[in-house]
Amino acid sequence: MLPEIVTPVGEVERQISVSFDLLAARRPNVISEIDEIPEGTVSNDGMSREIVQLLNQTIGIFCLTKVRNSLLMWSHYADQYGGAVLEFDASHEFFASQIEVDYRTTRPRRDLSSYLTGSPIPVAELCTKSDQWAYEQEVRIVRQLAACKEVGRDDRGFPVFVQQIPIAAIKGVILGERTPVEVQREIFGRVYESHVALSLAAVDHAGFSFREERIKFAVPISEMGPMVSPRTAHIFCELKSELGEMARWMIENHPSSRLVNRRV
């Protein structure tokens, strides 16, 4: 979100007013982008940061990815395989106006005049990152902070804002290789009677990827029971029911139980 802004040499410091359009798509031909810094102008780092500060005060960004099995993404954003991945329905109205991040080798460069036309700047045109991050395949949803709720601050001191996501927009949850069993049970309990599918991922023995073991299909448990395997049996082994008995037997007697539950 940090563009390179070019201003005339000796430009007098002044207050500018810039507005942004959260929903507009990138314009096909943005003539305000420039390849080289023209003679008599200079990159204005202060102006660039002013624009970012203005955005930080007014909008929030929900960052998503198109890939569910990236080792780097699982490591960086899912607690080193100890978290979970949520799969959303991209066609749901909550995810309207998606912005695909534009990955480039160089930072976009613009003349300050392009921000002073009086027309709102599409936020989509600022969603650019170094191509070193291209593996993320990031998609962004932008919201006005006024439409969100502040719930605290992160470890770096930045405010965290949230919005409720409709349950109908959630298709599934994929638990990680290292997700603690008690967390697996808690999440299963939350999606028990929903249309949210649930799976457990494991680092695959073939190649650098994951395999997923289905725990629950996208229907309530009352309509279709859970899938129990040596890998998923720990979720159910404390239940005082036939399902619990089956899970306990599988953990104790299935020939592959000991092997598949050696976490990496």
Residues (pLDDT < 50) of the chain are none
Whether residues 187 and 204 fall in one domain? yes
Q: What is the pLDDT of residue 93?
A: 95
Whether residues 234 and 153 fall in one domain? no
Whether residues 119 and 195 fall in one domain? no
Q: What is the pTM of this model?
A: 0.85
pLDDT in tens, 84-93: 999 999 999 9
Q: What is the pLDDT of residue 85?
A: 96
Q: What is the pLDDT of residue 121?
A: 84
pLDDT in tens, 104-154: 998 888 888 777 777 888 899 889 999 999 999 999 999 999 999 999 999
Whether residues 121 and 23 fall in one domain? yes
Q: What is the pLDDT of residue 31?
A: 56
End residue of a domain, out of 118, 139, 162: 162
Whether residues 21 and 85 fall in one domain? yes
Whether residues 172 and 158 fall in one domain? no
Whether residues 184 and 155 fall in one domain? no
Q: What is the pLDDT of residue 29?
A: 66
Whether residues 148 and 195 fall in one domain? no
Whether residues 252 and 198 fall in one domain? yes
Residue 178: which residues within 8 A CB-CB, separation 6 or more?
A: 79, 80, 81, 82, 263
Torsion sign across C-alpha atoms 180, 181, 182, 184: positive
Q: What is the pLDDT of residue 32?
A: 63
The number of domains in the chain is 2
Whether residues 93 and 135 fall in one domain? yes
End residue of a domain, out of 162, 185, 204: 162
Whether residues 11 and 134 fall in one domain? yes
Q: Which domain holds residue 232?
A: 168-260
Whether residues 90 and 193 fall in one domain? no
End residue of a domain, out of 141, 162, 183: 162
